[in-house]
Amino acid sequence: MKNLQLTKFETITRYLLICLFLYAAITKGMEFQKFQVQLSSSPLVPVILVKTTAILVISMELIIVGFLSVSALYLSGLLLSYSLMLFFSLYVFYLLNVPEFIPCACGGILGKMGHKTHLFFNLAITFLSIISIYIFITRTKKHSIDKN
Instruction: Give the pLDDT score at 85.
Output: 96
Average the pLDDT over 8-26 and give the result. 96
pLDDT band with cut points at 50, 70 and 90 for residue 23: very high
Question: Within a domain: residue 17?
Answer: yes
What pLDDT sits at residue 1?
45
> What is the distance between the alpha carbons of residues 96 and 109, in angstroms, rounded to a whole number?
19
User: For residue 117, is it within any domain?
Assistant: yes
Number of domains in the chain: 1
Residue 2, domain member (yes or no): no
Measured CA distances, 42 to 31, 58, 62, 109 (Å): 17, 17, 23, 20
pLDDT band at 146, cuts 50/70/90?
A: low
* Residue 148 within a domain: no
Instruction: Map 23-37 to HEC letters.
Output: HHHHHHHHCHHHHHH
CA distances from 68 to 22, 82, 115 (A): 11, 12, 27
Work out the pLDDT band at 17, boundaries 50, 70, 90.
very high
pLDDT tens string 24-69? 999 999 999 999 998 998 888 999 999 999 999 999 999 999 999 9
Q: Is residue 93 part of a domain?
A: yes
Q: Give yes or no for a contact between 13 and 128, defined as CB atoms under 8 angstroms apart.
A: yes
Instruction: Give me the domain span that covers residue 48.
Output: 8-142
Residue 98 lies in a domain: yes
Residues 22 and 114: their CA atoms lie apart, in Å, by 21
In-domain check, residue 79: yes
pTM assigned to the model? 0.89
Reported confidence tier of residue 144, pLDDT bands at 50, 70, 90:
low
List, for residues 98-113, the tens digit of each pLDDT value: 878 777 777 778 778 8
28 inside domain: yes
